[in-house]
Amino acid sequence: MKNLLLLCVVPLLSPAAVAAVSSSDFPAGTVWYLHADLERMRASDTGREMYDWLNGEVFIDINEEIGIDLNREVDRITAFSHDAMGTVIVVEGPVSEQTRDKLLALVALESKYDVRDFDGKTYYFASDEEVRAGKDSPLRDLDESAFFSFAVPNKLLVASSEGEMHELLRNKGRIAGSESHNGALFVLTADKEFVQAGMRTENFIDDDDDWDSNILRNTEEVAVLVADRGGLMAVEARLKSRDARMAQSIGSIANGLISLQLFNSELDPELRNLIQSTKVEVLDSVLTISTAFKPAALVKFLD
């Protein structure tokens, strides 16, 4: 189950109706979240550049590997992880019966699995005792076992705990968020969002890896938004520091790096324009970095 999920979901990490998610859509205490609206990318002139890159670099490989066309069968992906609830993934789209059969066959080949029932709805439990979770994986809760279901029309539901699978089935695939914003993560929004993501950094800090830095150790939360803004690709990142002085320091460093790069005579003109349009703002302990550029430039930077 782990390999299948990594193949289909993780590539979107490295990027209800067609509405975006908000802070009230996730339970208080959420560790990280991701919302990717592929349908909106496909339908937007701005997002199409980003989507075509994903299709060419990721989706085609998945289709060739397992014969599942994400380009045709996935519209949106919403995922989050919670200390108590574990990891939850909701994939929305016109997933065909043939694709469901392929996914079940792949799970059966890789894992032990059994069929279960909740309130007349079928779901599955898959486990692989030989797999051990890696601390650096955002989907580590799903490494050893997972519950998944196709019982809700046009949705694939995945959860690391059986209780959360029951909740998803009970709520027809809707994530039960928190009415109170106490303990909620930043969720950046815009008129036309393509990707929203955020996390609490303390859950990913490890003394043995590159997270060992003063900046990250003094950071509580990070949120990222990629959206359409007047035909331009807008990217915004927000960082909440434990100390307002640290936020001011990071802002000063970012502004200094921007100024230094503009003196680089070998800098690509499009990259220069992007840097020139980048804004750095600090309000109390919150640092915001934002920029907007022509969509075609994104593909060039990614390549």
Domain boundaries, given as residue ranges, for the chain: 2-14+24-170, 192-302
User: What pLDDT is attached to residue 11?
Assistant: 43
The per-residue pLDDT of the chain, averaged, comes to 81
| pLDDT band, very low/low/confident/very high, at 182 (cuts 50, 70, 90) | low
- Segment 264-270 long-range contacts (CB within 8 Å, at least 24 positions apart): 270/294, 270/297, 270/300
Please say if the pLDDT value at position 197 is more than 90: yes
Please say if the pLDDT value at position 195 is more than 50: yes
User: What pLDDT is attached to residue 14?
Assistant: 38
User: What pLDDT is attached to residue 68?
Assistant: 82
Q: Which two tokens stand for residue 24?
A: 């009230």
Q: CB neighbours (10 Å) of residue 83? A: 10
User: What pLDDT is attached to residue 180?
Assistant: 56
Q: How confident is the model over 184-191, as a mean pLDDT?
A: 82
Q: Which two tokens stand for residue 100?
A: 């469901």
CB 37 within 8 A of CB 225: no
Please say if the pLDDT value at position 136 is more than 70: no
| pLDDT band, very low/low/confident/very high, at 206 (cuts 50, 70, 90) | low
Choice between 160 and 260, residue whose per-residue pLDDT is larger = 160
Write the burial class of residue 213 (CB in 10 Å: 0-12 exposed, 13-18 middle, 19+ buried): exposed
Write the burial class of residue 290 (CB in 10 Å: 0-12 exposed, 13-18 middle, 19+ buried): middle
User: What pLDDT is attached to residue 2?
Assistant: 43
User: What pLDDT is attached to residue 21?
Assistant: 86
| pLDDT band, very low/low/confident/very high, at 8 (cuts 50, 70, 90) | very low
Please write the tens of the pLDDT for every residue from 45-96: 999 988 988 888 888 888 888 888 888 899 999 999 988 888 999 999 998 8
| pLDDT band, very low/low/confident/very high, at 210 (cuts 50, 70, 90) | low
